[in-house]
């Protein structure tokens, strides 16, 4: 028997920029599809015509492209309205959808009354008691209904969640969800189910805040004669405060790019936080794909730490090949310079600071009086060294023999004079990149 191809979907609404929680969902969907040799689809959930904007659609595509999450196909809900109408008619004819007329204020009052009595604020299904005469009267008054999906009471709604394990909901404790507004526009639940059926989605991966939605959607799949997909509900991200952080909602690709964070860093961190696997600096996502397993995800909220992200980013940068960053480096900076400064960078943009050190001029730094004569001697020796070989070890070897200096006293004054910095890249790699004439000039200037 043939096994169905795994199909995941990332389904953002184009009403704003993607934030870190969205990015994590996209990454998990992509990883699972790749791990299973399946397909990763992008679905633009743009049924909210008033709030959806094409610029956000373009931004979503660009963000996924930057992360390296190339979708295997794209759909838009705005192109599926006819399919929604057809399924709506089917469910209405079968009695699974029913018209309601309560105003938001009336519903809010009913919820408050129930809560005041210590009861769960579940919709009382009053609209099911309306007669045809009642519906006619509302129509005569020009009052259009909104529509609810009628949950079947009795048997529990159950599924085995790939992350949360066995799930069980009593539909009698749930409100029949509104699926369509009085103006004819759609809410999230039913169109999503219809699209998942038509797109042959096999695995729905999303945050645990959708668990109760899933319970209702399981019955929607069944009411439409479809087998529900497998579900994986990941624990939500938390911020530095140890609770759900509003700041996470503002952190997106634009923020990370401005901070010099590499896309591989985002993928490496968000693929592993909240799991039993260590976060590792993978430039190539292949190991992440190979090891991806929902069974390794925990139920506790996943902690997102920007300091951890920055540290991971430095480890990623230290692995980046010259060709991968060449277009982002200063003009004239070739492979030897990149490889010399790379171990000391936390982000690629910092390479520019060291290129300025290499090219000069550099700002003069304070030199101890006892080191000035030493640096003048270094300038004299540097003029006769073969710069095409290993000038740093040649220079320090000659100075050690001439002055008897060693360790910090031998190396630090030279580093300060040649780079203006007390620390930095290995001088054996850096000094050959500084022209000999410029190095001599710096040593002479520091020697006074």
Q: 289, 319, 349 — which closes off a domain? A: 319
In a domain, 171, yes or no: yes
- Residue pointed to by tokens 């000035």: 372
Burial of 172 (0-12, 13-18, 19+ CB in 10 A): exposed
Q: Rounded to whole angstroms, what are the CA distances from 197 to 9, 227, 267, 336?
A: 12, 9, 29, 54
Residue 246, marked binder: yes
Q: Give the Cβ contact number of residue 326 at 10 Å.
A: 12
If one counts the domains in the chain, the total is 4
Q: Are residues 348 and 301 located together in one domain of the fold?
A: no
| Residues 6 or more apart whose Cβ sits within 8 Å of residue 414 | 375, 378, 395, 396, 399, 427, 443
What pLDDT, on the 0 to 100 scale, is given for residue 397?
96
One domain, residues 35 and 2: yes
The answer to whether residues 23 and 101 belong to one domain is: no
Note whether 272 and 251 are same-domain residues.
yes
pTM over 0.85: yes
Give the CATH number of the domain where residue 169 resides: 3.90.800.10
The predicted structure's pLDDT at residue 241: 64
Structure tokens at 159: 């599924």
Intervals of the chain under pLDDT 70: 1-3, 241-246
Q: Are 351 and 333 in contact (CB under 8 A)?
A: yes
Q: CATH number of the domain at 367, please.
A: 1.10.10.350
Assess if residue 138 is contained within a domain. yes
Domain finish residue from 165, 180, 195: 180
Residue 239: per-residue pLDDT: 84
In a domain, 166, yes or no: yes
Task: Tell me the per-residue pLDDT of 395-442, one tens digit each, with 9 for 90 and over.
Answer: 999 999 999 999 999 999 999 999 999 999 999 999 999 999 999 999
Give pLDDT tens digits for 312-323: 999 999 999 999
The answer to whether residues 299 and 370 belong to one domain is no
Contact 179, 190 (CB under 8 A): yes
**b/e per residue 385-412 (b: at least 16 CB within 10 A):** bebeeebbebbbebbeeeeebeeeebbe
Answer with the one of 180, 202, 224 that is the final residue of a domain.
180
pLDDT digits (tens, 9 = 90+) for 15-25: 999 999 999 99
Q: Do both 171 and 123 map to the same domain?
A: yes
How confident is the model at residue 246, as a pLDDT? Answer: 62
Q: Is residue 190 part of a domain?
A: no
Range of the domain at 130: 92-180
In angstroms, rounded to a whole number, what is the distance separating the alpha carbons of residues 214 and 231?
A: 8
> Domain check: are 441 and 365 in the same one?
yes
> What is the 8-class DSSP label of residue 201?
-
Contacts of 137 (CB under 8 A, 6+ apart): none
Q: Are residues 297 and 330 in the same domain?
A: no
- Tell me if 309 is assigned to some domain: yes
- 290, 250: one domain: yes
Nearest of 282, 289, 270, 313 to residue 21 by alpha carbon:
270
Question: In this structure, is residue 127 part of a structural domain?
Answer: yes
The CA–CA distances, whole Å, from 111 to 97, 129, 180, 211 equal 22, 19, 20, 21
Angstrom distance (rounded) from CA 128 to CA 126:
5
The span from the CA of 8 to the CA of 231, in Å, is 10
Is residue 140 assigned to a domain?
yes
CATH number of the domain that 20 lies in?
3.40.50.620
CA 248, CA 271: separation in Å to the nearest integer? 16
Residue pair 240/103 in contact (Cβ under 8 Å)? The answer is no
**Whether residue 346 is found in the same domain as residue 283:** no
pLDDT for residue 448? 87
| 46 and 98 share one domain | no
pLDDT given at position 3: 53
**DSSP state, residue 49:** T
Q: Is residue 228 part of a domain?
A: no
Residues 6+ apart with CB under 8 A from 359: 332
Per DSSP, the residues of 101-138 read: ---HHHHHHHHHHHHHTT-------GGGG--HHHHHHH
Q: What is the pLDDT of the chain when averaged over all its residues?
A: 94
Whether residue 277 sits in one domain with residue 309: yes
């Amino acid at each position: 028997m043939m096994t169905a191809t795994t199909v995941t979907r990332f389904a953002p609404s184009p009403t704003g920029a993607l934030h870190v929680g969205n990015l994590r969902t996209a990454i998990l969907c992509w990883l699972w599809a790749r791990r299973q040799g399946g397909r990763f689809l992008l679905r633009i959930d743009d049924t909210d015509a008033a709030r959806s904007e094409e610029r956000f659609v373009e931004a979503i595509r660009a963000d996924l492209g930057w992360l390296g999450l190339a979708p295997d196909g794209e759909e838009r809900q705005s192109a599926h309205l006819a399919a929604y109408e057809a399924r709506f008619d089917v469910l209405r004819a079968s009695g699974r959808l029913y018209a309601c007329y309560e105003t938001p204020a009336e519903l809010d009052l009913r919820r408050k009354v129930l809560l005041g009595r210590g009861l769960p604020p579940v919709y009382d299904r009053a609209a099911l008691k309306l007669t045809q005469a009642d519906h006619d009267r509302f129509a005569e008054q020009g009052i259009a209904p909104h529509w609810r999906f009628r949950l079947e009471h009795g048997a529990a709604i159950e599924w085995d969640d790939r992350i949360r394990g066995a799930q069980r909901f009593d539909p009698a404790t749930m409100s029949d969800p509104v699926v369509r507004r009085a103006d004819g526009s759609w809410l999230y639940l039913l169109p999503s189910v219809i699209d998942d059926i038509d797109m042959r989605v096999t695995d729905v991966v999303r945050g645990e805040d959708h668990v109760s939605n899933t319970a209702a959607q399981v019955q929607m799949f069944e009411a439409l004669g479809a087998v529900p997909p497998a579900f994986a509900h990941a624990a939500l991200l938390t911020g530095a405060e140890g609770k759900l952080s509003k700041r996470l909602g503002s952190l997106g690709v634009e923020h990370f790019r401005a901070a010099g964070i590499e896309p591989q860093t985002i993928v490496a961190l968000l693929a592993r936080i909240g799991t039993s696997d260590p976060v590792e600096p993978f430039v190539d996502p292949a190991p992440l794909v190979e090891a991806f397993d929902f069974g390794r995800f925990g139920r506790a909220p996943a902690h997102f730490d920007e300091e951890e992200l920055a540290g991971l980013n430095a480890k990623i940068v230290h692995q980046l090949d010259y060709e991968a960053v060449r277009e982002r480096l200063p003009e004239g900076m070739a492979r030897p310079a990149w490889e010399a400064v790379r171990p000391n960078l936390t982000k690629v943009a910092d390479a520019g600071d060291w290129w300025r050190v290499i090219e000069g001029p550099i700002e003069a730094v304070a030199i101890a009086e006892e080191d000035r004569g030493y640096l003048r001697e270094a300038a004299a020796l540097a003029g006769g060294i073969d710069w095409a070989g290993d000038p740093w070890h040649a220079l320090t070897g000659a100075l050690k023999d001439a002055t008897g200096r060693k360790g910090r006293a031998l190396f630090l004054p030279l580093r300060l004079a040649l780079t203006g910095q007390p620390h930095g890249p290995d001088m054996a790699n850096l000094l050959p990149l500084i022209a000999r004439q410029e190095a001599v000039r710096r040593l002479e200037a520091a020697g006074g």
